[in-house]
Amino acid sequence: MNDDPTLTQPEIKTRRERGWRSISLVWLVPVAAVAGALGLVWQSYSTRDIPIRIAFADATGIEPGKTEIRYREVVVGTVQSLQFSDDLEQVVAHAEINRDLARYLDTGTRFWLVTARVGPAGISGLNTLLSGSYIAADWDAEPGPQAREFIAEATAPAVPPGTKGRAVVLVSPDSGSVSVGAPILHKGVPMGKVAAVRFDPLSGSVLISGFIEAPYDRMITSGTRFWNVSGIGLELGEGGVQLKVDSLASLLQGGIAFDTPMSGGQTVGRRPVFDLYPDEASARDSLLGDSLQATVEVMSNFEGSVRGLRVGSEVLFRGVKVGQVKHLTAQVEEVEGGSPEIRMQVIYTVEPSRLGLQDVRTAEDTLSLLSTMVERGGLRARLMPASLFSGGLVVQLVEDDQAEPAAIDHESAPFPIMPSLPTPPDTLAVASQNVLDRVAALPVEELMQRAIMLLENVNAIVADGDTRALPADIRSVLDNVNSVAASESLRALPDDLRQAVASVNAVLDRFNGQEGVQKLVSALEEVRAAATYVSDFSVELPGLVASIDGLVAKADALPLEEVVASAGEVLQTANAFLQEDDVKRVPATLSAALEQAEKTLASIETAAGSVNDTLGKFEEQQVSQTLIDALNDLRAAAANVEDASAGLPSLLDDIDRLVATANDLPLNEVVTSADQVLQSADAFLRNEDMEKVPGALSGALEQVQQVLAELQEGGAVRNLNRTLETANAAADSVALAVKDLPELSRRLEELADTAEATIGAYGPGSPVNREVQAAIGDLRSTVRSLDALVEAIRRKPNSLLVGR
C-alpha cells in the first residue's frame, strides 16, 4: 500500500508545538470555574453566620433548620439544632445569625418566640399559623459588650422593637388590675402601653414598666402624674351617679392615664420613676408632693383612744395637709416595775415640699430637717378633731414653745418616732361636748315628773265635792243680786242720779264761762313740748340698747341649771302644797267669800243714797272754781315737767351708766339670789298661812267642775268625745302606717336612687351617656376593624396564609 513514497511522507502533520503556546485557550474554562467556585467559597466563608445559643423554657414551634430568626421581619438567621441544657431545665436553640449583625449582638439583645396571639389588645402573628413560629430579635444600634448566649423572653414585648419613645417606671402598692399591654392614655388617647408588670420584693411594691411613644414622650416631665383607670368606677355623689369607663380595652386589661397638670416641670431622665395613683383626684392632689424618696414615714405614740382616726386621715401642719396616716397599731410597752402600757401607734407620711422644705432630695434630708424642727421649734404631733360634727380625727403637727424638750427617736423600728402631745381639753369639740354634757345632765325628766304630779293633784282638787258645790253658791249670790235690784230703794236710784248729773252740768257750765278750757289747752301744749324734748333724746337709746345687749349676753351665761333645779324644787313643793288637805278645803272658803259678796251688794243699796247726797253738796261748794285752780296748778306742773325734761339727757346718761353698772353686776349673784328667792317662795308655800288659801280655791274649782258638768249636758263633751274617738281611730291608722313606714321609706329611697341614676344617667351630656357613647365608639371601631379584616381577606385570601 505504501508504494507512493511521496504519499508516505506526511506533508500535513499534527503540529507539535512545545511550551506554553501549545496549551489551548479552552483551559481557561476550568480555571474560570475553579476561580469562581473559590470566590464563592471565600465569600461564603467571609459572610458565614455567627453561631449563637438561645435558651427557651420549651421548644414550642421551634424546628431545627426551619425556624427563622427575624429582626424587623427580615430573616437574619436560622435555628440549626435544639439541645437540652445540662440541668434539663431549658431547651437551648443553636442558631446562626447573619455576620453583618454580629456586632450588634450585645447583652441588650432580646429574643422571643412569635406565635399567633389573640388577646384584648388585638390579634397578632396570624401569619405564623401556617408558616410556623419564628424567633423575633430586637437590639439597638449601639454595640455593647458582646454576647453569644441569650435567654429568650417569655412573652413578646408589648412595645414593638425599634419604637421611638420613652420608658417609664410606675410604682404602685398593687397592680390595680393593670396587665401587660394595657394602654397608657392621655385625655383618652392611647399614647403608650404597659410593657411589664412585676412585683419588687425589696420595696414591697409593684413596678409597672410603661412606654410612651414619640412624640408624646416629650409631655413627660417631673410634673407628670399617672393614675389607674382600670375597670368601672361608680361614684355616688351630690352630682348624681357617675359611671367611669375609660375604654373597653382598659376594662379588660386595665389602663393608666397620665396628665401633666403642672407646667414648668423639669425634664426627666431615661427611665424616670413615677408613682401610680389610684385615681385622678389623688393624682392631682399629690401635685405638691415631691418625689417618693424625699417623703418620710414616721410614727407617733398616742395615749388614749384613736377612734375616728383611720388610714388615709390627714396630717396637718398649720392647717395644710402635709401627709397622711398609713397604719394604726396598738403597741404594748413594758414599763419597769409596772403593768405593761398599751399605746396607740400611728404611722404616717410627711411630704417635705408641703412643709415648705424645698431643696430636699432624700428621705434622710427630710428627717434631719424634721429633727431640727422638733428640737428647736418644738414640733410635736397630736390628735385633733377634724371637725366639730364628724368625730373624725387628724394628726396635727404643732409647734409648741412650752413643750418639754424632745427629739425624734431615730433608733426605733420600723420608723422614727415623732414626739407627741396629748390632745388639749380646751378644743372646740371638747367645749361643745361639755355644753352638751351639761344640758344632758339637767334634771329635765325629774322636772317633767313633778309637773305630771302637779297636774294630777289639780285634777284631784277639781274632782273634790266642794269644788262642785261652787256653782250653786254662785247661783244663790245671783239670786241675792236679783232681789237687791228689785228693791224699792234701788229703783229710786236713777232719779237721784239724774239730779246728780244735772248738778254736774251746772258745774261744767260755770267752768266753761271762766276760761277753763283755754287754760287746759295751754297746759296741754306745754306737755307736748316736753314730750318733743323727750323724743329727741330717744336717739341716744341705741347705745343704751347695746348695753342692755351686753347685759343679756351676761344673763346668757348664767347658771341656769341651778335655776331649773330650783324651779323643779318649787314645783315639788307646790305639788306637796296641793296635796295638803287644806288646799282641798279651798272651795268651802270660796263659798264663804261669795256669801260675803252678797252682803256687799246689800250695802250698795244704801250707798246709792249717799251718792245722791254728795252730789248735792258738790254743787253747793262751787267745785268748778276749785277745778280751775287745779288746772292752773297743772299748767305750772307741766312747765316743771318741761324743765325736768331738760335734764333728760343727763338722766339717759345715768340710765346708761346704770345699765353699764348692771352689766358689771355680779349677775351670778343675782341668779343665786333668784335661786334664793325661789327657795324663799318654796318656804313661803310651805308657810302655814297658805293653808287657808286652798279652802277658798277648792270652792272656786268645785264650781268650775259644775260648769264643766253643765257643759257636758249641753252636748259639747259628747262632741268632744266623738272627736277624740275619731282622732283615736286616726291615730291607730297612723300607727299602722308607721309600722309600714320603714319599708316604704326604703322603697322610696330605692325609687329615688333609681330615678336619680336614671335621670342622671340618661340626660344629654351626662357622664353615663358619655361613657356609653365612648363604649359604643369603641365597639364601632372594633366592628370597623373586623370589617377591614374581612375586606382584606376577601381581596387577598392568601394573605392569611403567607402573612402580608
Partner 1 sequence: MRARDMGWIGCHNCGAVHDKGSRSCRTCGARLHGRLPNSLQKLWAWLVTGVFFLIPANLYPLISNEVFGHEEGHTILEGIVVFAESGDYLVAGVIFLASFVIPAFKVLVIAILALSIQFHWQLDRRVRHLLYEFVEFIGRWSMIDVFVVALLTGLVHLGAILAFLPGVGAICFALSVICTMLSAQALDSRLIWDGVENE
Q: Measure the CA–CA gap between 299 and 381, rounded to whole angstroms.
A: 10
Q: Which residues contact 458 (CB under 8 A, 6 or more apart)?
A: 578
With contacts defined by CB under 8 A, name the span among 31-39, 415-423, 435-443, 599-607 that binds partner 1: 31-39
Please report how close the Cβ of residue 279 comes to partner 1 at its closest, in angstroms: 49
With contacts defined by CB under 8 A, name the span among 29-37, 265-273, 296-304, 774-782 that binds partner 1: 29-37
With contacts defined by CB under 8 A, name the span among 5-13, 359-367, 629-637, 782-790 that binds partner 1: 5-13
Tell me which residue has cell 248738778: 503
803 is a contact residue toward partner 1 (CB under 8 A): yes
Backbone angles phi, psi at 211, to 5 degrees: -135, 125
Among positions 388, 463, 711, 802, the unique one binding partner 1 when judged by CB under 8 A = 802
Please report how close the Cβ of residue 82 comes to partner 1 at its closest, in angstroms: 18
Please report how close the Cβ of residue 6 comes to partner 1 at its closest, in angstroms: 8
Q: Which residues contact 617 (CB under 8 A, 6 or more apart)?
A: none
With contacts defined by CB under 8 A, name the span among 13-21, 246-254, 543-551, 702-710 that binds partner 1: 13-21
**Closest CA relative to residue 185, chosen from 270, 286, 265, 253:** 253
382, 388, 391, 394: CA torsion to nearest 10: -30
Do residues 400 and 384 make contact, with C-beta atoms less than 8 angstroms apart? no
Secondary structure (H, E, C), 325-390: EEEEEEEEECCCCCCCEEEEEEEEEECHHHHCCCCCCCHHHHHHHHHHHHHHHCEEEEEEECCCCC
Q: Measure the CA–CA gap between 464 and 462, rounded to whole angstroms.
A: 5
Strand partners, 189: 186
Please report how close the Cβ of residue 2 comes to partner 1 at its closest, in angstroms: 8
* CB atoms closer than 10 angstroms to residue 229: 26
Considering the complex, state which of residue 34 and residue 288 has its C-beta at the smaller distance from partner 1: 34
Considering the complex, state which of residue 233 and residue 803 has its C-beta at the smaller distance from partner 1: 803
Among positions 5, 18, 21, 26, the unique one binding partner 1 when judged by CB under 8 A = 26
Among positions 3, 5, 15, 334, the unique one binding partner 1 when judged by CB under 8 A = 15
Q: Measure the CA–CA gap between 61 and 213, rounded to whole angstroms.
A: 31
**Closest CA relative to residue 114, chosen from 135, 92, 139:** 135
801 is a contact residue toward partner 1 (CB under 8 A): yes
Considering the complex, state which of residue 10 and residue 269 has its C-beta at the smaller distance from partner 1: 10
Please report how close the Cβ of residue 9 comes to partner 1 at its closest, in angstroms: 10
792 is a contact residue toward partner 1 (CB under 8 A): no
Please report how close the Cβ of residue 801 comes to partner 1 at its closest, in angstroms: 5
1 is a contact residue toward partner 1 (CB under 8 A): yes
Considering the complex, state which of residue 452 and residue 802 has its C-beta at the smaller distance from partner 1: 802
Considering the complex, state which of residue 6 and residue 358 has its C-beta at the smaller distance from partner 1: 6
12 is a contact residue toward partner 1 (CB under 8 A): yes
Nearest 5°: the CA angle 528, 532, 538 is 140
Among positions 7, 214, 478, 517, the unique one binding partner 1 when judged by CB under 8 A = 7
Please report how close the Cβ of residue 241 comes to partner 1 at its closest, in angstroms: 54
29 is a contact residue toward partner 1 (CB under 8 A): yes
Please report how close the Cβ of residue 29 comes to partner 1 at its closest, in angstroms: 5
Considering the complex, state which of residue 63 and residue 149 has its C-beta at the smaller distance from partner 1: 63
Considering the complex, state which of residue 131 and residue 626 has its C-beta at the smaller distance from partner 1: 131
Please report how close the Cβ of residue 60 comes to partner 1 at its closest, in angstroms: 17
**Closest CA relative to residue 96, chosen from 32, 161, 152, 50:** 50
With contacts defined by CB under 8 A, name the span among 3-11, 146-154, 242-250, 712-720 that binds partner 1: 3-11
Among positions 20, 27, 45, 389, the unique one binding partner 1 when judged by CB under 8 A = 27
- Element (H or E) spanning 526, and its range? helix 516-537
Considering the complex, state which of residue 132 and residue 559 has its C-beta at the smaller distance from partner 1: 132
Cis peptide before 471 (omega within 30 of 0): no
Q: Measure the CA–CA gap between 284 and 226, rounded to whole angstroms.
A: 9
Considering the complex, state which of residue 75 and residue 748 has its C-beta at the smaller distance from partner 1: 75
Q: Measure the CA–CA gap between 742 and 40, rounded to whole angstroms.
A: 96
Considering the complex, state which of residue 320 and residue 802 has its C-beta at the smaller distance from partner 1: 802
Task: Spell out, one character per residue from 63 to 92, where the chain touches partner 1: x when CB under 8 A holds, - when not.
Answer: ---x--------------------------
10 is a contact residue toward partner 1 (CB under 8 A): yes
794 is a contact residue toward partner 1 (CB under 8 A): no
Q: Which residues contact 326 (CB under 8 A, 6 or more apart)?
A: 297, 311, 347, 348, 349
C-alpha cell of 280? 385622678
Size of the site for partner 1 (CB under 8 A): 27
Among positions 3, 11, 89, 142, the unique one binding partner 1 when judged by CB under 8 A = 11
CA distances from 465 to 319, 462, 584, 657, 708 (A): 74, 8, 9, 58, 14
b/e map 125-161, b = 16+ CB within 10 Å: bebbeeeebbbbbbbeeeeeeeeeebebeeebbbbee
* CB atoms closer than 10 angstroms to residue 478: 12
Q: Measure the CA–CA gap between 449 and 459, rounded to whole angstroms.
A: 15
With contacts defined by CB under 8 A, name the span among 9-17, 357-365, 416-424, 456-464 that binds partner 1: 9-17
Strands, sheet with 149-151, edge to edge from the N-terminal-most edge strand: 110-114, 134-138, 68-71, 74-84, 91-97, 50-56, 149-151
58 is a contact residue toward partner 1 (CB under 8 A): no
Task: Spell out, one character per residue from 114 to 133, where the chain touches partner 1: x when CB under 8 A holds, - when not.
Answer: ----------------xxx-
Task: Spell out, one character per residue from 131 to 170, where the chain touches partner 1: x when CB under 8 A holds, - when not.
Answer: xx--------------------------------------
Considering the complex, state which of residue 33 and residue 709 has its C-beta at the smaller distance from partner 1: 33
Among positions 267, 339, 358, 798, the unique one binding partner 1 when judged by CB under 8 A = 798
Please report how close the Cβ of residue 758 comes to partner 1 at its closest, in angstroms: 56
Do residues 642 and 530 make contact, with C-beta atoms less than 8 angstroms apart? yes
Interacting residues with partner 1 (CB under 8 A) = 1-2, 7-8, 10-15, 23-24, 26-27, 29-30, 33-34, 37, 66, 130-132, 798, 801-803
